[in-house]
Amino acid sequence: MAANMIGVKKNIIIVAIGPMDLVDAEPAYYEKQGPYETEEGCLSHTGTKKTTRYQTIEVAYTDPSGKKHTGTFTDFTAQVIQHEIDHLDGCRENTIISTLRDCFHHSCNEATA
């Protein structure tokens, strides 16, 4: 979940990884490898949409205690993190600033490429 999707104006995402939650403040990509095409759903719209994601990503982030980290994520976890970072970057299908068409045919996928 991206904080801005629930009305919190912070650059924070929370991703459940098994029994723990990964809380990332100010996440930023360092590296992306292995692009692939997939379809995703979202709580903010019905149906699915096609998008490009990366198999492996390296992300810099700050944990809740303020400590900086760099993490490498793969597979489904990497896909979820990319989806949530898209929301932080303004790809929010349920707001007036971005429609579903604008989000997925605009610069959001290009900005994360």
With CA atoms as reference, report the closest residue to 102 among 35, 52, 49, 37: 49
Q: Where are the alpha helices (DSSP H) in 8-107?
A: 75-88, 100-105
> How many Å separate Cα 1 from the centre of its chain?
9
Lookup: tokens for 38: 């997939």
Residues 6+ apart with CB under 8 A from 83: 40, 42, 53
* Residue 84: active-site member: yes
> Which one of 31, 58, 84, 93 is the catalytic residue?
84
The residues that are catalytic are 84
